[in-house]
Structure 1
Amino acid sequence: MSKLNIDADYLLGQLRTILSIDSPTGYTDNAVRYCSRELERLGLKPELTRRGAIRAVSQGGRREGARAIVSHIDTLGAQVKAIKSNGRLELVPIGHWSARFAEGARVTIYGYEKILRGTILPLKASGHTFNEEVDTQPTGWGFVELRIDAPTTSAEETVALGIDIGDIVAVDPQSEFLDNGFINSRHLDDKAGVAIMLATIEAFERSGAVAPVDVHWLFTIAEEVGVGASSVIRPDVASLVAVDNGTTAPGQNSSEFGVTICMADQSGPFDYHLTRQLTELCQKNGIKYRKDIFRYYRSDSASALEAGHDIRTALVTFGIDASHGYERIHLDALRSVGELLTHYVTSPIEIARDTEEFSDVQSFPRQPVPKTKSKI
């Protein structure tokens, strides 16, 4: 079929909006509502799990053997661990990220009774007071505190403000969109993936394309804490492609341009056949791509498999610099991943037996073997 064009303006508009909605793991309801309304506007009927993971289905030629695409709405953040005697807050992180990137961040504290603003600071923040100690103090969550923008110098005064242990702290994204395509922001992992999926759905629905099987568009709410796609996948789904960030760091092969296909992460190799299909779609359609392996990384696909879903999984990524910090991406990668997804959801089914949970060995796919070995 003809190429489905990704609307870059729509993609960027969605990314701007989603970044503006706080959604650290545990406080995702508002972002879930926004994404659900946008899916409805695009013509789909989103279904929500009890906690808010989203599933919307584009009907294809067949229900069995459905394909699923997933990204996660939740982001990193923090929680109030203790209220200190000076009225400031001790924090613990939500998700895995360094306190080095928390220092200086502007934040919102979501209390049950009141919402307040503040700043995360190192314990020794004033050079006029601590001199060189501001540079030599250790880095870690035990060495930062949250200064609340309200009159308080004691634990009692902070409690009276309506702040309590366990309150969610959302970190400002500090987003900047440049004319040359670069985007700098916190939480691009994985709000950029959400924007890519919405732009893919928009292109798919606008074109009137019909997929060979149902396409399940999934948006999860707890990937950063390891839960991810564990409870939002129906039994008729045969394959799952996760959309997330790839790390453009020394020793990695990821790029901020084109698509980066992850071959393995800390949970092991991704499915041979599905990954190969995505690679061949890039080659056939002139989409720039690279392959990479992520050592300290897991995605929605890992939680899906750990939950017992017998599905093929793959991971396609947009290269991101300084992941889980102040991140940077480029529009070229976002658009490229979206183009790959449009080709994937409209491509023919390559493994027919995947419509069945169990089948005979004759229909089971093959992997290449050396010519010197007998064919199995």
Structure 2
Amino acid sequence: MKKISLKKYTDFLVKETETLLNIDSPTGYTENAAAWVLDEFTKLGFDAKLTNKGGVLVSFGGSDKDNGLLLEAHVDTLGGMVAEIKGNGRLRLTNLGGMNPNNAETENVRVVTKFNGVYEGTFQLCNASIHVNGEYNNVKRGWDTCEVVLDEDVKKKEDTEKLGIAVGDIVCFEPNVRITKTGYIKSRFLDDKLSVGILLGLAKYIRDEKIVPKRALYAHITVFEEVGHGGSGNVPEGCTEAVSVDMGCVGEGLQCTEKQVSICAKDSGGPYSYPVVKGLIEAAKASGADYAVDIYPHYGSDVEATLGAGNDLRHGLIGAGVYASHGYERSHRDGAENVLRLLVAYALA
């Protein structure tokens, strides 16, 4: 297979990713992001609809409707929820998904109330002034030892309640998006908004090149992956295979870098379908995609929820290499382009 130029589609998907990263969407608060994703796929000319669960299901067409391929990515992210308004007016949080207080400390946040607007604050260690707190270095960071300090004149619980802040309100952490001149993409929540951007890039490629896939091809942008049940429903009739497009792991003991597409052979849920893993590797080689095959020690994906719901499917997992997962994450446009290259070769062959 001749190596095709995908630069303009990579440029497009990076811009789409940047926009999406700046739309708050922690698990349970994804309507705005899902609406944006729906609109972007629709503008590219594809049939997209919202599911009852709040995700986005897209059809790319295809002639063989009895051997369909479903690509899954998720737009929900980590975040927090107000668990308690403390006596001093500050907020104790509970996590949404795998948000880790060690990675969240000192981050700016937005508290989204149900009826009274949005308030800003900062997630800090309790008694965060190091010149005052002699135990600052010894305190284990946790949801009970950290708090949201609101950027409002509140001194007691009643002051905060008067603002309309209540238990159960969503807390969104600032993503801090930055794209460097050298092509690195740095932000919270690249997991998995970068993959959504990649699928939008694939959609633009299909449209611009006037491609009709041989297999019926679908995308499901899920909204509850971070809590384990994102991909448990909405599998189109006739699908025989599902591939999660999620983050590829980068870290000690693994081969993948931020500039590669990672093909996962096994994660915490067990091995992925051998024929799918083999086919993905063959497509990567044929297309010239720079790839690595890895085993993820602490990981689960949408497609495992799809299987857990009883669907009879072959399954696989790929993604752009992402370093510092569930923290301040980093990938590279080359990694995203290699995922796109693999998808073009595998899904559109």
Q: TM-score, normalised by structure 1?
A: 0.90
Aligned residue in 1 for 2:133? 130
Matched, 1:119 2:142: no
Q: Does 1:27 align with 2:29?
A: yes
- The 8 Å contact of residues 82 and 90 in structure 1, kept in 2 or not, is answered as yes
Amino acid at match of 2:51: T
**In structure 2, which of residues 148, 157, 160 is the aligned counterpart of residue 158 of structure 1?**
160
CA distance in 1, matches of 2:108, 2:63: 49
Give me the whole-angstrom Cα distance separating, in 1, the residues matched to 2:171 and 2:15: 25
Query: Tell me, what secondary structure is at the counterpart of 1:147?
Result: strand
Please point out which of 176, 179, 201 is paired with 2:178: 176
Offset of residue 228 of structure 1: 1.3
> Could you tell me whether the CA contact under 8 Å between 2:261 and 2:289 is conserved in 1?
yes
What is the distance in 1 between the residues matched to 2:117 and 2:63?
50
Match of 1:60 in 2: 62
Query: 1:193 — aligned with what?
Result: 195
Once the two structures are superposed, residues 47-102 of structure 1 have per-residue CA deviations (whole angstroms, 9 ceiling, x without a partner) of 21112111111111221111111100000000001000000000011001320011
User: What per-residue deviation string (whole Å, max 9, x for no partner) do you get for residues 265-289 of structure 1?
Assistant: 1111000001100100111122111
Amino acid at match of 2:312: D
Query: What is the SS of the residue equivalent to 1:335?
Result: helix
Residue identity matched to 2:124: L
Q: Give the Cα–Cα distance (whole angstroms) in 2 for the partners of residues 202 and 242 of structure 1.
A: 19
The answer to whether the Cα contact below 8 Å between 1:4 and 1:207 also exists between their aligned partners in 2 is no
Describe how 1:218-233 pairs up with structure 2 within 5 A.
Answer: 218-233=220-235
> Greater share of strand residues, 1 or 2?
2
Picking from 319, 323, 326, the partner of 1:324 is 326
Gaps of 5+ in 1: 348-376
Tell me which residue corresponds to 1:5: 6
Give the conservation status (yes or no) of the 8 Å contact 1:69–1:242. Answer: yes
Q: 2:270 is matched by which residue type in structure 1?
A: G
Pairwise CA distance, 1:4: 6.9
Paired amino acid for 2:73: S
Gaps of 5+ in 2: none
The 5 Å alignment of 1:308-347 reads 308-347=310-349
Aligned partners of 1:114, 1:163: CA distance in 2, in Å? 9
Partner of residue 290, structure 2: 288
> Which of residues 42, 58, 68 is equivalent to 1:40?
42
Query: Does structure 1 conserve the Cα–Cα contact (< 8 Å) formed by 2:108 and 2:174?
Result: yes
User: What is the number of residues matched between the two proteins?
Assistant: 346
Kindly report the root-mean-square deviation, in angstroms, between the aligned alpha carbons of the 2 structures.
1.2
Match for residue 354 of structure 1? none
Are 1:116 and 1:148, in contact at CA under 8 Å, matched by a contact in 2? yes
Identity across aligned pairs (percent)? 35
Pairing partner for 1:257 from 252, 256, 259: 259
Matched residues in 1 for 2:291 and 2:94: separation?
37
Report the alpha carbon displacement of residue 179 of structure 1 after superposing the two structures with TM: 0.6
Runs of 4+ with deviation above 3 angstroms: 1-4
Shift in Å at residue 327 of structure 1? 0.6
Picking from 216, 223, 239, the partner of 2:241 is 239
TM-score under structure 2 length normalisation: 0.97
**Looking at CA atoms only, which structure, 1 or 2, has the larger radius of gyration?**
1
| CA displacement 1:13-50 (0-9 Å, x = unmatched) | 10110011000000000001101111111001112111
- Match of 1:275, SS? helix
